Structure 1
Amino acid sequence: MGSVMDEGPFFHGTIADLRAGDLLSAGHRSNYRPEIVMNHVYFTALLDGAGLAAEIAAELAEGDPAPRVYAVEPTGDFEDDPNVTDKKFPGNPTRSYRSSAPLRVVREVADWTRLTPEALQMWRERLAALRDERAEIIN
């Protein structure tokens, strides 16, 4: 693993109802692509980034789950998230990371910024387009 120097604090956005001390671990299905089992757990040092992940997870879930953001601590080595660093964002300005080791929940964060209705609608449209693209590939 790389030697990432970011000391946090770190955040994770999800729809899971967690408590301080709970561990978030790899090996679960992706919120974004349920057919994929994740080898890493993802987190960010940007509160709004975790908020966006939580909002998207809630949009993609069945029912009407609440988006939640947690302060988390990595329990092992972590590296830059290659999904957002390699080509799109050299130098990791999104401060997005992943780890194969669990994240320990420190606390739930209540004061994160929710998306505006307009921003949420834009993400709904983006997500619908992504689903359509995948459906076309499957067909």
Structure 2
Amino acid sequence: MSEPPASAGLDPGPFFHGTKADLRVGDLIEPGRRSNFGAGRSAHHVYLTATLDAATWGAELAVGEGRGRIYRVEPTGPIEDDPNLTDQRFPGNPTRSYRTRHPLRVVGEVEDWQGHPPEVLQHMRDRVEELRRQGVEAIDD
């Protein structure tokens, strides 16, 4: 992996990961799982963010059964800007979204997060589905 961009290395966190997985403090979130986006292929990276809003989207859009969850995580290796969002959609990475090829360690769960309004969430789900139908691969791995 190349050196992470300066913006990723300078972000003090805290960092979050949104998912539907039921995890415990100390668990590792590792690359190699099925992606929530695009063709659902195995992801070479694990994604994290320093904003609760971006983590909320992750929790709400994650595939699988159960409720969405947001975990506070610590990277175990270098992180880099998420190219799926940075500069392609949000120049300068205002979403503070990152990825890593190294595991994330769960250090806690955010219990009191607020989901997006139902109509906003449905609009995003419709957009993700439309991209899937168009064959757009959302993950630049």
For Structure 1 versus Structure 2, the TM-score category normalised by the shorter chain is: 0.7 to 0.9
Q: Give deviations 1:32-75, integer Å, cap 9, x for gaps.
A: 23541111100000011101111011xx43xx421110000001
Whether 2:30 is the aligned partner of 1:29: answer: no
Structure 1 residues 20-99: aligned runs within 5 Å = 20-57=25-62, 60-61=63-64, 64-99=65-100
Whether 2:20 is the aligned partner of 1:6: answer: no
In 1, the alpha carbon distance for the partners of 2:110 and 2:42 equals: 26
In 2, the alpha carbon distance for the partners of 1:128 and 1:13 equals: 19
Identity percentage of aligned residues: 54
- Please identify the structure whose Cα radius of gyration is greater: 1
Q: SS of 2:123's equivalent?
A: helix
Give the letter aligned to residue 44 of structure 2. Answer: N
Query: Which segment drifts farther, 120-129 or 96-105?
Result: 120-129
Would the aligned equivalents of 1:48 and 1:112 in 2 still touch at CA under 8 Å? no
Q: SS of 1:134's equivalent?
A: coil
Q: How many pairs does the alignment contain? A: 131
RMSD across aligned C-alpha pairs, in angstroms? 1.6
Q: Runs ≥4 in structure 1, deviation > 3 angstroms?
A: none
Structure 2 partner of 1:105: 106
Whether 2:122 is the aligned partner of 1:121: answer: yes
In 2, the alpha carbon distance for the partners of 1:42 and 1:8 equals: 14
In 2, the alpha carbon distance for the partners of 1:131 and 1:89 equals: 21
In 1, the alpha carbon distance for the partners of 2:124 and 2:81 equals: 24
In 1, the alpha carbon distance for the partners of 2:41 and 2:85 equals: 18
TM-score (norm: length of structure 1): 0.87
- Structure 2, unpaired ranges of 5+: 137-141
